[in-house]
A = this chain, B = another copy of it.
Amino acid sequence: MLPDRRNFVTIPAPTDVHAAWLPEEAFRPVGTRRTLVLADGLLAETVRAEVAAACARYGGSVRQQAGGGEFDLVLALSTAEQPVEVAPGECGAEGFALAHRDGVTVVVADEPAGLLYGLFHVVRLGESAFGAERPVEWHRPATPRRMLGHWDNVDPHPVMGQVERGYAGGSIFWRDGGPRGDLARVRAYARLLAACGVNAVGVNNVNVHATEAHLLTDRLGDVAAIADVLRPYGIAVHLSVNFAAPIALGGLPTADPLDADVRTWWARTTEQVYAAIPDFGGYVVKADSEGQPGPFAYGRTHADGANMLADALAPHGGVVCWRAFVYNHRQDWRDRSTDRARAAYDHFAPLDGRFRDNAILQVKHGPMDFQTREPVSPMIAAMPSTALAVELQVTQEYTGQQRHVCYLPAMWSEVLGFRPWGRDGRSVADVAAGGGLVAVSNAGDDPYWTGHPLAQANLYAFGRLAWAPRLDPAAVLDEWIGLTFAAGDPERLRGPLHAMMDGSWRTYERYTAPLGVGFMVRPGHHYGPDVDGYEYTPWGTYHFADRDGVGVDRTRASGTGFTGQYPEPWSEVYESLEECPDELLLFFHHVPYGHVLHDGSTVIQHIYDTHFQGAEEAEQTRLLWEKLAGAVDPALHARVRERLDEQVRCAGEWRDQVNAYFFRKSGVPDARGRRIP
C-alpha cells in the first residue's frame, strides 16, 4: 500500500519522508495570496523562499519591495516602514507582532528570525489569519533556549545502537561511523523544528564515546556541515563533549579543570569550533554520571568543571549546558537510607551562585529519570542564582517507546505550571525562562520521523510549549491535527484524535505506574513490565513492596528526608500522608495496601482498578482508530494500527503482571471480582 503523496514533501532524499506538520496543503492560505517581505539576510531569504514555494503551488505572489500593488500579507522588520508601526526593540531577538488591519495581515519583528516564526504562525492560523480585524498581539518566546538533544551515536553502540533510547529507526545525522550524508533530511527536520519554535539542536549523544569525542576536533567538519543546513532555519548547533577530551584528544596528562594547560586546550579548541561554526551554540556535558568522566576525578566541583568550559565559550557568546543528572548508580539496595532522588540536589544545591552566567545547569524535570510520574525536581527551586534549563524527554523511553500512544504535553504542562514556592510563587516555566527548555528528541530516520506517527505530536508540542509554556496541551494538539491532516479532513479527525490522545499519558500511567511508583520495567531496554526488575539492583530505583505495603518513605520523619529538599509549602505537603497528592503517594510514603486514598479507594484496590481501566482504555483507543480507516492515508493508518495492536497486547501484560504481583504479595482479592491471574 503506497502512502498518499499529498502528505509528503518532496525533498532530495533516498526515500519519501512524511511531511509531519508541514504538508503542502497547510501553506495554501499563504500560497494563494500576495505577500511582501521587507527584510534582508539569511533568515529573510528563508521566509521568502517558503512563501515563494507556496505561491508556486497555489498561484500567489511574493515581493520584496513595497509599492506597485496591494498585499494581503506583509512581513517586515521593525526598522522598515510597516503598517502597524511597531517600534524597534519591542519584539526582541525572536519575537514578532501580528495584526490584521484593513485587510492586510502584518507580521513585524526586530530580527529576521522573528519574521520566520511569524510566518509559521500565520501558517498555523490558516485562513483565519486573513479574516477579521486583529489588533496587534505580541509573540515572544518564553525562553531564548529551546533545544532538542539527540542521543545519536556516530558509531553504533554495541548495546545502545545508533540512537540511544531511539525508537524511530536510525539517526538523521549519523550512520555506521560517519555522517549520514543525507542533508536534505536534516534540512527538512530544521524546517519542522522552526515551525514549532525550536532554535537549538544537540547533534550527538550526551554519553560521548570514542568516535563521537572527535566531533570536537578532527571531525568538526561533519558538525559544521550540519550547522550549515540548520542555520537558514535559525537553529544553532550544540555539541556533547567528553570531559576527558584534553586527555583523549589533546594528549594532555590530565583533564583537571583548574589546570592551565587544560584550560588553554579548551580555549583553543573552542576557538577552532567557532572558526568553523561562527554561530555555534555551545557544549552539552554529562560528567561524573553513569560512568562518564568528570571533575570529581580531580577533586574539583561541578562548578569548576562547568566554569572552565563556560570561560572557553564566553568570548564567542556560547553556553555550556551542564547536566545535573549526577547520582550514584552503584547504590546498595539494602541501605534504605540512601535515595537516588536526593542526588542532584545534594550535589548541586551547595554550588548555587558559583556558576558563570553562560554556564547553564540542565535539570531533569523530576528527581529520578523521566518516569511516567514523578514530582517536580526540588533542584528547580534550589538554585536561585544559577541559570537553570529544564530537561524533558520527548523520546518515549519509559512511556511506551513510540509503540504506545502517549501524548506527553499533558505531563509537561503540569510540570511547567508547577509552582515550587506555592501558588503565589514563580512556576517551573518561569525558572526555565532564564536557562531554557531542553528535551531529548524522538525523531529518527523513520519515514514518519518518530516511528509512531502520532508521536509527531509530542515533538511538535515540545517546541510549542518551549515557546509558550502556558499553552493548553489540548489546544496544541488541535493545532497539530489541523496542520498534519490539512490535506485530509481535520474536522472529522479532531474528535477521535482528542479522545485517543488528550488523556493518553494518564492512560499509560494507569496501566503502568500506580501512585508514583516508577521503574517497574524490564531492565536495560526499559520496555514492558517487570515489577521487581530494578528492585534489587544498584540503580537506586525501588518500590519496597512487601506483603504488607508498598512505597518509598522519603519523609523527614522516618524516611530518607527527601521531602526536606522542597521549599514550603511542598516540603510539608509531601511530608504529610494526608496532604500528599494521591498520584505521588508511593513516591513519598510507604503505606499499607489498605491505606485509603482521597477518593475512598484503598491502595491495593486502586492498583487493580487503574490497571483494569488503563488496559481497557488502550483497547478503546484502538477501536477509535479502527473507525478512522478511510479518513487518513492508508499507510499511516496501517502503521498506527500495528502499533496499537502492540499497545493493547502490552497493556494487557502490564495489567496482568502488576495485578498478579500485588495480589500474590498482598493476598487481597479484587473487590469487583475480576480475574487476576
Contacts and interface: CB of A to CB of B under 8 A. Distances in A.
Interface of A: 333-334, 524, 529-533, 536, 545-548, 653, 656-657, 660-661, 663-667, 677
A334 B677 contact: yes
A666 B531 contact: no
B547 A657 contact: no
Contacts of A656: 334, 536
Contact of A532 (B524, B530, B546): B530
A149 to B, nearest CB: 27
**How many copies of this chain?**
2
A667 B529 contact: no
Contacts of A333: 677
B334 A664 contact: no
A120 B200 CA distance: 73
Given A536-B657, A660-B536, A547 B665 contact: yes
Closest 8 CB pairs of A and B: A334-B677, A546-B664, A547-B547, A536-B657, A532-B532, A547-B667, A547-B665, A665-B665
A574 B592 CA distance: 39
A334 B546 CA distance: 22
A676 to B, nearest CB: 9
Nearest to A531: B532
Contacts of A664: 545-547, 665
Instruction: Provide the main secondary structure of the chain A interface.
Output: loop
Contacts of A532: 530-532, 661
A288 B251 CA distance: 55
29 contacts: A333-B677, A334-B656, A334-B660, A334-B677, A524-B524, A529-B536, A530-B532, A530-B533, A530-B536, A531-B532, A532-B532, A532-B661, A536-B653, A536-B656, A536-B657, A536-B660, A536-B661, A545-B664, A546-B663, A546-B664, A546-B665, A546-B667, A547-B547, A547-B664, A547-B665, A547-B666, A548-B667, A664-B665, A665-B665
Nearest to A668: B547
Most buried by B among A530, A536, A657, A666: A536
Nearest to A657: B536
A675 to B, nearest CB: 9
Contacts of A548: 667
A531 B529 CA distance: 15
A274 to B, nearest CB: 41
Given A531-B532, A546-B665, 18 more contacts: A334-B656, A334-B677, A524-B524, A529-B536, A530-B532, A530-B533, A530-B536, A532-B532, A532-B661, A536-B657, A536-B660, A536-B661, A545-B664, A546-B664, A546-B667, A547-B666, A548-B667, A665-B665
Nearest to A335: B677
A449 to B, nearest CB: 26
A530 B536 CA distance: 8
A549 to B, nearest CB: 10
Contacts of A530: 532-533, 536
User: Which of A547, A653, A661 has most B Cβ within 10 Å?
Assistant: A547
Contacts of A545: 664
A333 B652 CA distance: 13
Contacts of A677: 333-334
A81 to B, nearest CB: 65
Contacts of A524: 524
Interface centre among A532, A548, A653 (most CB of B within 10 A): A532
A660 B665 CA distance: 13
A660 B548 CA distance: 14
A58 B656 CA distance: 71
A547 B661 CA distance: 10
A494 to B, nearest CB: 38
A667 B547 CA distance: 7
A168 to B, nearest CB: 20
